[in-house]
A and B are shown apart, each in its own frame.
Chain A
Amino acid sequence: MAIERIDPKLCNGCGICVNSCMLDVIRMDEENEKATIRYPEDCMMCYFCEQDCPEDAITISEAKNSPLVVSWG
Chain B
Amino acid sequence: MNQVSFIGEYMNNPEWTEITLKESYARWQDMVAWGVEFYKYDDGEYVWWPPRPPEMLAKFPMQSIRMVQRKHAEVCRSQATKTGVNILDRVMIADLLKQDGKVVGAIGFSIESHDLYIIKAKATIMSAGASAFKPNGTPLHVITGDGEAMAYRVGAEITGKEWNDCHPSRAEFPAWQWSPRKNLSTSKKDDFGGLPSKVNAEGDLFADGQSVTLYIEDVHEADAGRAPVYWQFGSGTADYHDLVAGPEGLPRNQLDLDAEQEGKVRMVVGSSLGMSVHNTEGIWPINTKCATSIPGLYAAGDSLGARPAGARYPNMGFSTAYCSATGTRAGVAAAEYALQTKKPIVNEEEQMRVKKILYAPIERQGGFTPGWVTQILQNTMMPYWVLYVKHGERLQATLKQIEFMRDRIVPKLTAKDAHELRLAHETKNMILGAEMKLRASLFRTESRGTHYREDYPLRDDPDWLAWVKIKEEQGEMKLHKEPIPEKWWPDLSKSYEERYPLRFPRE
Contacts and interface: CB of A to CB of B under 8 A. Distances in A.
Asked if chains A and B come from one complex, the reply is yes
Interface of A: 2, 19, 22-24, 27, 38-39, 41-42, 44-48, 51, 62-64, 66-67, 69-70, 72-73
B252 A62 contact: yes
Contacts of B173: 62-64
A73 B369 contact: yes
Given A2-B175, A24-B419, A72 B372 contact: yes
Contacts of A67: 371, 375
Contact of B142 (A23, A27, A39): A23
B142 A44 contact: yes
Given A69-B375, A69-B379, A46 B419 contact: no
30 contacts: A23-B141, A23-B142, A24-B111, A24-B419, A24-B422, A27-B112, A39-B419, A41-B371, A44-B136, A44-B137, A44-B139, A44-B142, A44-B175, A45-B176, A47-B181, A62-B173, A62-B176, A62-B253, A62-B255, A63-B173, A64-B173, A66-B375, A67-B371, A67-B375, A69-B376, A70-B372, A72-B372, A73-B368, A73-B369, A73-B372
B487 interface: no
Contact of B138 (A46, A63, A70): A46
Contacts of A44: 136-139, 141-142, 175
A72 B376 CA distance: 9
A24 to B, nearest CB: 5
Nearest to B170: A62
Given A24-B111, A46-B139, A51 B181 contact: yes
Contacts of B142: 22-23, 44
A47 B438 CA distance: 34
A9 B141 CA distance: 31
A56 B35 CA distance: 27
B90 interface: yes
Given A39-B419, A47-B180, A24 B90 contact: yes
Contacts of B371: 41, 67, 73
Interface residues of B, number: 30
Nearest to B371: A41
Contacts of B180: 45-47
A67 B136 CA distance: 14
Nearest to B255: A62
Nearest to B92: A24
Interface in B273-302: none
B494 interface: no
B130 to A, nearest CB: 15
Contacts of A73: 368-369, 371-372, 375
Given A62-B173, A69-B379, A45 B138 contact: yes
Interface string B127-163: 0000000001111011000000000000000000000
A70 B89 CA distance: 35
B129 to A, nearest CB: 11
Nearest to A50: B181
A63 B173 CA distance: 6
Contacts of A45: 137-138, 175-176, 180
Nearest to B423: A42
Contacts of B136: 44, 64
A60 to B, nearest CB: 10
B353 interface: no
B377 to A, nearest CB: 12
7 tightest A-B contacts by CB? A73-B372, A44-B141, A46-B138, A64-B175, A45-B175, A47-B181, A62-B173
B70 interface: yes
Contacts of B369: 73
Given A44-B175, A73-B371, 16 more contacts: A23-B141, A24-B419, A24-B422, A38-B419, A39-B419, A41-B371, A44-B138, A45-B138, A45-B175, A46-B180, A47-B180, A47-B181, A62-B253, A63-B173, A69-B375, A73-B372
Contacts of A22: 142
A2 B379 CA distance: 21
Nearest to A51: B181
A55 B137 CA distance: 25
Interface string B360-391: 00000000110110011001000000000000
Nearest to B376: A69
Contacts of A23: 141-142
A53 B347 CA distance: 46
Interface in B221-255: 252-253, 255
A37 B293 CA distance: 43
Contact of B70 (A38, A48, A62, A70): A48
Contacts of A69: 375-376, 379
A23 B112 CA distance: 12
Contacts of B141: 23, 44
Nearest to A2: B175
A22 B180 CA distance: 14
Nearest to A38: B419
A73 B414 CA distance: 10
A42 B376 CA distance: 16
